[in-house]
Amino acid sequence: MTRISTDVSDNVSANQRTRTGWTLLLASLGSFMAALDVVIVATAMPTMRVELHAGLSQMEWTINAYNLVFAVLLLTGAALGDRFGRRRMYVGGLLLFAATSAASALSTTAGELIAARVAQGVAGAVLVPLTLTLISEAFPAEKRGAAIGIWGGVTGLGVAAGPVLGGVIVQEMTWQWIFWFNVPVALAVAAGSLFLLTESRGPRPQLDVPGLALAGTAMFALTWAPVRAPDAGWASAEVVGALVAGAVLAGGFVLWERRARFPMMPLEYFRNRGFATANIVNFFLMVSLIGSLFFITQLFQTGLGYSPMQAGARILVWMAMPMVVAPLAGALADKVGNKPFMLAGMLMQGGGAAWLAVVASPHVSYGTLVAPLIVSGVGISMCFPTVANAVTGSVPAADAGIAAGVNVTLRELGGVFGVAILGAVFAAHGGYASPEVYVAGFRPAMWVAALVPVGGAVAAAFAPGKPKAVAGGTADAGPDAGEPTAELVVQAS
């Protein structure tokens, strides 16, 4: 009888390992594809602008349209997964991503491309938050950090490969292939997910439709403002009105969620120190990272005269760091907690940006830029998995989808504001007339990118430490701790 029980236990354990392995692989591939798409499109923009006979503002909207829709619908995508099935919605998001990628490749005008990118933003908003949700639901709390670290490493590979792959495609093939690449990958991941992943749902029996509407319109207004600010001006009625409307709608969302029977985002989670501090770190990190990425990629081309492929290869030393560091940081965070990595990561990101601001010049050698790029790359790599782990680990396992949606929403919002804020600083001090003029704007923009992480470091300093282990699970570190309690560990297992 004991032997039979042991065999059954071994079979269950083997099945669990198989399930978590496939979940990690398929979710990471979806995140890789989405991350690659954003970077690779930016690399091909100059070529697309010429071949589609489009103006610069039209090509900017191929990026902005995707980002706007993506940011607005992220919480909706997470909520739909919780309500109708995470596997089902993930597969649906992948299929839509494949279809809209094909539509983008077949576009013959800038208007058609923008429309296809809007639809692609819808698909991204469904599949991206669910990649983190599927992993958080599949792995027990004590192994989640390592899994999220691998997810972060694979996502980092997509970011790192984007500039290089984009440069190769633009120079050796046609720009349409930056979209055709997505189609077979998305279809293969969708088929694998349909047959190899198990279905799961969130705890709420119905959608919070008013909450979704308020959150979506608030996010639209808050992202519209920084997107339009470079053209309309930060002091314009359009931008100020959008910011005010976004704040009012966000306030209405909070009031509604306090009285909703099945709130899409329980507000008590923001009283949880682990959840709140990790999300603050996440926002400040992305303001600095995406804002600096936007200008560092241009430094190599506009400021230093490299081709797109040469620039992409040189940026690898920065963008490839998550492939190496994120899995290690995620695994170590399971042992020592998330706080040390978030704090050190924010300081290193700020330090790397400040170093770049000091050494940047029209004649700076690539060797001089390598060290600050590595410092910054290690910093962001330490934050990626630990922020995600802290956010999803601070809520009951059943609410991992909503937590992931909040995490990715703030990530996108931070990125949009980062480009807008650093762009305004750049425009006030420099421009594109010559390498000297470009660097004159680049330096103050990078000083802003260096100062922003200080706010994230302050938030990380208030994050809870790792709770003490007790028999049968993990002890709660306090009433506002950011780690799972013993009860949650049992539920997640």
Same domain membership, residue 167 and residue 274: yes
pLDDT (tens digit per residue) in 269-327? 778 888 888 889 989 998 898 888 878 877 887 778 777 677 777 877 887 787 778 77
User: Considering the domain boundaries, does residue 10 fall inside one?
Assistant: no
Q: Of the candidates 263, 288, 304, which is a domain's last residue?
A: 263
Looking at the 3D structure of the chain, how many domains does it have? 2
User: Considering the domain boundaries, does residue 8 fall inside one?
Assistant: no
Same domain membership, residue 149 and residue 161: yes
Q: Which pLDDT value is given to residue 267?
A: 73
User: Considering the domain boundaries, does residue 5 fall inside one?
Assistant: no
Averaging pLDDT over each range in 38-47, 57-66, 208-217, 250-259, which range is the top one? 250-259
Higher local confidence (pLDDT), 448 or 32: 448
Same domain membership, residue 377 and residue 341: yes
User: Considering the domain boundaries, does residue 171 fall inside one?
Assistant: yes
Average pLDDT over every residue of 92-119 = 90
Q: Both tokens of residue 249?
A: 């709608």
Q: Which long-range contacts (CB under 8 A, 24 or more apart) does 248-251 make?
A: 249/214, 249/217, 249/218, 249/221, 250/214, 250/218, 250/222
Q: Both tokens of residue 262?
A: 């099945």
Same domain membership, residue 322 and residue 344: yes
pLDDT of 187 > 80? The answer is yes
Q: Of the candidates 217, 235, 263, which is a domain's last residue?
A: 263
Mean pLDDT for all residues in the chain = 78
Average pLDDT over every residue of 67-81 = 76
User: Considering the domain boundaries, does residue 356 fall inside one?
Assistant: yes
Q: Both tokens of residue 15?
A: 């099945």
Residues sharing a CB contact under 8 Å with residue 129, sequence separation 6 or more, in sequence order:
74, 77, 78, 81, 401, 404, 405, 407, 408
Cβ–Cβ < 8 Å for 81, 199:
no
User: Considering the domain boundaries, does residue 281 fall inside one?
Assistant: yes
Same domain membership, residue 213 and residue 203: no
pLDDT (tens digit per residue) in 241-261? 988 998 898 888 888 878 877
pLDDT of 483 > 60? The answer is no
Q: Which pLDDT value is given to residue 255?
A: 86
The band of 336, judged by pLDDT with boundaries at 50, 70 and 90, is: confident
Same domain membership, residue 252 and residue 269: no
User: Considering the domain boundaries, does residue 2 fall inside one?
Assistant: no
pLDDT of 11 > 70? The answer is no
pLDDT of 189 > 70? The answer is yes
pLDDT (tens digit per residue) in 258-275? 887 777 777 777 788 888
Same domain membership, residue 221 and residue 203: no
Q: Which pLDDT value is given to residue 284?
A: 92
Q: Which of 108-112, 118-122, 452-456, 466-470 has the lowest mean pLDDT?
A: 466-470
Q: Which pLDDT value is given to residue 74?
A: 74
Look-up of token digits 């959608």:
207
Percentage with pLDDT > 90 across the chain: 15
Same domain membership, residue 212 and residue 108: no
Q: Which of 57-71, 353-367, 384-398 has the lowest mean pLDDT?
A: 57-71
Same domain membership, residue 234 and residue 139: no
Q: Of the candidates 221, 243, 263, which is a domain's last residue?
A: 263
Same domain membership, residue 216 and residue 163: no
Cα separation, 210 vs 241, whole angstroms: 22
CATH assignment of the domain containing 350: 1.20.1250.20
Name residue 470's beta-bridge partners: 473
Q: Which pLDDT value is given to residue 8?
A: 39
Which residues form the domain of 363? 15-207+264-492
Cα separation, 219 vs 225, whole angstroms: 10
Q: Which pLDDT value is given to residue 3?
A: 52
pLDDT of 329 > 90? The answer is no
pLDDT of 13 > 60? The answer is no
Q: Which pLDDT value is given to residue 119?
A: 92
Average pLDDT over every residue of 81-105 = 89
Same domain membership, residue 120 and residue 81: yes
User: Considering the domain boundaries, does residue 314 fall inside one?
Assistant: yes
Cα separation, 397 vs 416, whole angstroms: 30
The band of 478, judged by pLDDT with boundaries at 50, 70 and 90, is: very low
Higher local confidence (pLDDT), 30 or 95: 95
Cβ–Cβ < 8 Å for 156, 330:
no
Average pLDDT over every residue of 168-193 = 85
Cβ–Cβ < 8 Å for 264, 208:
yes
Higher local confidence (pLDDT), 153 or 357: 357
Same domain membership, residue 350 and residue 235: no
Residues sharing a CB contact under 8 Å with residue 426, sequence separation 6 or more, in sequence order:
295, 441, 442, 444, 445
pLDDT (tens digit per residue) in 342-351? 999 999 999 9
Look-up of token digits 């491309």:
113
The band of 419, judged by pLDDT with boundaries at 50, 70 and 90, is: confident
